[in-house]
């Protein structure tokens, strides 16, 4: 168990800079998700932490120790791969025992056949077998120990890969999209299990995913990466409610946040000809954008701010998402409604929408968050 | 329908051309010299009793033989005794052609010794080839280093060099270090197999990088990865390479003929065929073909046993 420090790490492949000076402190026992669209550099960062790739500059410190130039094998980290990467020729038990065998047995004791007869090998092998059994029981795969990976289902392989990672006590666990090869149902189940595993072990987890739901549901903190930078790193609540960048706002949350182009002047906002109920800072002028979460919108009759036509309705049973076309706006906006409102949301219906002024997130023309002194007094002071 | 028919006819024709020499070899190994000369007797020959002329000639009785045999033939002239002894010899030297051919194959030359030499040489070559080719192929397929592509191009280029072109320099080098007429001379020149490196490299390219990274995370060094991860996953490809390597060196006539210049103890099986080549007293086609049959049998049996995995290895579809 240990803390991790990522200190101004950059990585260039040829002419392209994949990581642009990433800094991130991960405390002991924390579950940090690196989340971002594909190609944002999150996997590269994980591989640099693991020692499978070397950084172009900057440093990785594990418990204060700079590990630059230390082989992956000697960093005492465990990794779970997206493809699971189990050894196809070994049984489940042998797969899980490999990290222990490579670390605890001498090279003589590892020799095939005669290795077992070397002095001390018997006791160590018994110890290893016990650890393997314990890890297998933790993950409920002890009945599969004699099978080969080829005979396992995707979920079982995933557990074996986890078992191989947690059989020894590494400084930290690195997980590279471990759920993306599972079907949707199993993914939800395994998500819970990994989160519980993290609570039980109290170990440091670094979890790479492109799925914001996984990041939201499992992490202590989320680091949203885009274009080789960390845009924001905070607890899930903050990242969702207070995105500091329009790209973060767009990436986190499903369905996606609605972005509307608006005109700011004299502390007011206008969308086309409509005056919005949101107050803007006085110095803000010209075209900016606001973000409205689907759950921030509600159906309205008399006090409607926006009006539009329902184009498509998605009924999820417990909630309904309606896609609405606003006149004078290119894209559709999404609104969340309760099943009770289903009747007024038939396709083609003209409806009115309203929202609380404080529900709108303001972003300046560069996509940076603007805090409203009236709505967010605390943040605006900090900002 | 007719298209299929044509397809099959053409393929059958091709197969017959390939099989014909084997048919002749096996058929000759059954027949008597007379039948081979006259080209009769079908596949098995008539298997009539034949007399081994050399056997009779070896037992040609001299004066002493006649003297010792005299008590067995009382009241007969020396001439009669001699004729009787010759008749006995002829009777003893009678045998079926198939028996004649195969006993000749094993008795005329120490064929078992040659087969043993063949096993020693091909097995040593194959093992050392693996020891060299696997790490080289791993480096070429999975490690990133400056000049990797250039090195691989050189490997490919080496595939184009015919053995016969470098045979003479190789021979001179071996002679200078005094290695001619040793097992080493038969083995050493073949230990670095460019084809093996190429084939294994192509197979290793299909092994997922994650597997190697996982091995590194598990604490393995690069050599441990080669022997503990790559070798076991590459078994189908290794079997394919084994067949190519073993067949080539088991059947090799050219190189052993060059470096084994006197010591018959080092003869490999193909050199054994020379024992029957026609000198003054005519060729022994029957025993020669019997020897050839004995030599190719182990290979054919090995191929049939490993057939399925061998084809798997050539198509390089071992990992998914």
Determine, for residues B213 and A164 on separate chains, whether the beta-carbon distance falls below 8 Å: no
The answer to whether residues B292 and B262 belong to one domain is yes
Range A352-380 average pLDDT: 79
Substitution target in A14, A48, A72, A131 with the highest count of B β-carbons within 10 Å is A72
Determine, for residues B214 and A72 on separate chains, whether the beta-carbon distance falls below 8 Å: no
B50 CB within 8 Å of a chain A CB: no
B143 CB within 8 Å of a chain A CB: no
pLDDT attached to residue A174: 94
Angle CA B243–B245–B248, to nearest 5 = 100
The answer to whether residues B71 and B116 belong to one domain is no
The number of domains in chain B is: 3
A108 CB within 8 Å of a chain B CB: no
Determine, for residues B217 and A50 on separate chains, whether the beta-carbon distance falls below 8 Å: yes
The answer to whether residues B43 and B147 belong to one domain is no
- Nearest Cα of chain B lies from the Cα of A52 at a distance, in angstroms, of 7
Mean pLDDT of chain A: 89
Query: In chain B, which residue's Cα lies nearest the Cα of A80?
Result: B214
Choose between A162 and A303: higher pLDDT.
A162
pLDDT attached to residue B280: 52
Residue B106 maps to a domain: no
pLDDT attached to residue A383: 41
Q: Is the pLDDT of residue B214 over 90?
A: yes
The answer to whether residues B158 and B243 belong to one domain is yes
B231 CB within 8 Å of a chain A CB: no
Q: Please, which residues have CB within 8 angstroms of residue A90's CB and are 6 or more apart in sequence?
A: A98, A148, A149, B232
A 10 A CB-CB count for B43 gives 10
Domain ranges of chain A: 4-241, 256-382
Q: Is the pLDDT of residue B159 over 70?
A: yes
Asked if ipTM goes beyond 0.95, one says: no
Residue B319 maps to a domain: no
Mean pLDDT of chain B: 86
Class of domain A256-382: mainly beta
The answer to whether residues B140 and B231 belong to one domain is yes
Assign A381 a pLDDT band (cuts: 50, 70, 90). very low
Range A232-241 average pLDDT: 93
Residue B199 maps to a domain: yes
The answer to whether residues B86 and B176 belong to one domain is no
- Nearest Cα of chain B lies from the Cα of A214 at a distance, in angstroms, of 22
Q: What is the rounded CA–CA span in Å between residue B150 and residue A3?
A: 43
The answer to whether residues B134 and B203 belong to one domain is yes
Q: Domain with B187 in it: what CATH number?
A: 1.10.3720.10
Q: Which of B213, B220, B235 sits opposite A81 (nearest CB)?
A: B213
The answer to whether residues B66 and B182 belong to one domain is no
Residue B233: its chain A contacts at CB < 8 A? 87-89
Substitution target in B143, B144, B145, B218 with the highest count of A β-carbons within 10 Å is B218
Residue B105 maps to a domain: no
Residue B31 maps to a domain: yes
Angle CA B281–B283–B288, to nearest 5 = 140
Q: What is the rounded CA–CA span in Å between residue A39 and residue A25?
A: 22
Q: Is the pLDDT of residue A179 over 50?
A: yes
The answer to whether residues B80 and B191 belong to one domain is no
The dihedral formed by the CA atoms of B1, B6, B8 and B13, expressed in degrees to the nearest 10: 160
Angle CA B163–B164–B167, to nearest 5 = 90
Lowest mean pLDDT among A15-24, B246-255, B259-268, B290-299: B259-268
A79 CB within 8 Å of a chain B CB: yes
A52 CB within 8 Å of a chain B CB: yes
- Nearest Cα of chain A lies from the Cα of B3 at a distance, in angstroms, of 41
Range A175-202 average pLDDT: 90
Containing domain of residue B76, as a range?
49-95
Classify burial at B247, counting beta carbons within 10 Å of its beta carbon; exposed 0-12, middle 13-18, buried 19 or more. middle
Lowest mean pLDDT among A257-266, B40-49, B233-242: B40-49
In the block, residue with structure tokens 């240990």: A2
Substitution target in A44, A51, A82, A89 with the highest count of B β-carbons within 10 Å is A89
Query: In chain A, which residue's Cα lies nearest the Cα of B234?
Result: A89
Q: What is the rounded CA–CA span in Å between residue A40 and residue A20?
A: 11
- Cα-based distances in Å from A159 to A190, A193, A370: 9, 10, 44
Distance from CA of residue A154 to its chain's centroid? 21
Range A126-130 average pLDDT: 91
- Nearest Cα of chain A lies from the Cα of B308 at a distance, in angstroms, of 18
The answer to whether residues B129 and B271 belong to one domain is yes
Range A232-261 average pLDDT: 92
Substitution target in A14, A74, A87, A152 with the highest count of B β-carbons within 10 Å is A87
pLDDT attached to residue B106: 86
Assign B283 a pLDDT band (cuts: 50, 70, 90). low
Q: At A3, list the tokens.
A: 């803390």
Residue B76 maps to a domain: yes
User: Nearest-CA neighbor of B286 among B10, B19, B17, B54?
Assistant: B54
pLDDT attached to residue A322: 92
Lowest mean pLDDT among A109-113, A170-174, A317-321, B127-131: A109-113
Domain finish residue from B24, B48, B72 = B48
The answer to whether residues B139 and B122 belong to one domain is yes
B45, B95 Cβ separation under 8 angstroms: no
Name the CATH superfamily housing domain A4-241: P-loop containing nucleotide triphosphate hydrolases (3.40.50.300)
């Amino acid at each position: 168990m240990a803390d991790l420090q990522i200190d101004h790490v950059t990585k260039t492949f040829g002419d392209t800079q994949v990581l642009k000076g990433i800094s991130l402190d991960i405390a002991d026992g924390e579950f940090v998700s690196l989340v971002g669209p594909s190609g944002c550099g999150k996997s590269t960062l994980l591989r640099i932490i693991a020692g499978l790739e070397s950084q172009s500059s900057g440093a990785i410190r594990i418990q204060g120790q700079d590990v630059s130039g230390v082989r992956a094998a000697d960093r005492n980290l465990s990794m779970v791969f997206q493809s699971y990467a189990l050894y196809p020729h070994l049984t489940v038990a042998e797969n899980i025992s490999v990290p222990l065998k490579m670390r605890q047995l001498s090279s003589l004791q590892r020799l095939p056949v005669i290795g077992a007869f070397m002095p001390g090998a018997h006791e160590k092998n018994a110890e290893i077998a016990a650890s393997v059994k314990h890890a297998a029981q933790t993950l409920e795969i002890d009945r599969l120990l004699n099978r080969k990976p080829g005979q396992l289902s995707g979920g079982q392989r995933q557990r074996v890969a986890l078992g191989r990672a947690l059989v020894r006590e590494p400084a930290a666990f690195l997980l590279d999209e471990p759920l993306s090869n599972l079907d949707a149902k199993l993914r939800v189940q395994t998500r819970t299990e990994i989160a519980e595993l993290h609570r039980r072990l109290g170990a440091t987890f670094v979890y790479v995913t492109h799925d914001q739901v996984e990041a939201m549901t499992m992490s202590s903190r989320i680091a949203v990466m885009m274009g080789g930078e960390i845009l924001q790193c905070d607890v899930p609540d903050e990242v969702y409610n207070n995105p500091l960048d329009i790209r973060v706002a767009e990436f986190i949350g499903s369905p996606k946040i609605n972005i509307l182009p608006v005109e700011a002047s004299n502390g007011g906002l206008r969308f086309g000809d409509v005056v919005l109920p949101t107050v803007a800072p006085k110095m803000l002028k010209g075209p900016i954008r606001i973000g409205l979460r689907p759950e921030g919108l509600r159906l309205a009759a008399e006090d409607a701010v926006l009006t539009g036509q329902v184009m498509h309705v998605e009924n999820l049973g417990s909630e309904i998402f309606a896609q609405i076309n606003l006149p004078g706006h290119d894209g559709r906006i999404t609104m969340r409604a309760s099943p009770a409102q289903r009747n007024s949301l038939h396709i083609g219906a003209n409806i009115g929408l309203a929202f609380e002024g404080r529900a709108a997130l303001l972003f300046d023309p560069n996509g940076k968050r603007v805090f409203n002194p009236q709505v967010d007094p605390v943040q605006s002071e900090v900002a | 329908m007719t298209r299929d028919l044509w397809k099959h006819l053409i393929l059958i024709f091709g197969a017959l051309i390939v099989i014909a020499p084997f048919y002749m070899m096996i058929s000759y190994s059954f027949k008597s010299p007379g039948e081979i000369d006259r080209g009769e007797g079908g596949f098995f020959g008539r298997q009539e009793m034949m007399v081994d002329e050399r056997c009779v000639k070896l037992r040609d009785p001299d004066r002493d033989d006649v003297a010792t045999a005299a008590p067995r033939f009382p009241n007969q002239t020396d001439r009669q005794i001699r004729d009787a002894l010759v008749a006995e010899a002829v009777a003893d030297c009678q045998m079926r052609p198939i028996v004649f051919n195969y006993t000749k194959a094993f008795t005329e030359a120490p064929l078992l010794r040659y087969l043993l030499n063949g096993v020693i040489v091909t097995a040593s070559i194959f093992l050392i080839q693996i020891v060299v080719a696997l790490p080289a192929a791993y480096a070429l397929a999975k490690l990133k280093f400056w000049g990797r592509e250039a090195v691989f191009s050189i490997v490919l280029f080496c595939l184009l060099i015919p053995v016969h072109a470098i045979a003479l320099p190789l021979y001179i080098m071996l002679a200078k270090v005094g290695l001619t007429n040793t097992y080493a001379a038969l083995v050493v020149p073949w230990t670095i197999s460019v084809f093996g490196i190429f084939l294994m490299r192509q197979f290793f390219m299909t092994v997922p990088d994650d597997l190697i990274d996982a091995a590194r995370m598990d604490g393995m060094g690069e050599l441990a990865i080669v022997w503990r991860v790559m070798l076991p996953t590459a078994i189908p490809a290794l079997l394919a390479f084994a067949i190519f390597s073993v067949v080539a060196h088991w059947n090799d006539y050219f190189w052993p003929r060059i470096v084994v210049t006197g010591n018959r103890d080092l003869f490999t099986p193909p050199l054994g065929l020379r024992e029957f080549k026609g000198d003054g007293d005519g060729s022994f086609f029957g025993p020669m073909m019997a020897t050839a049959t004995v030599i190719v049998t182990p290979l054919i049996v090995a191929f049939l046993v490993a057939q399925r995995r061998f084809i798997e290895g050539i198509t390089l579809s071992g990992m998914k």
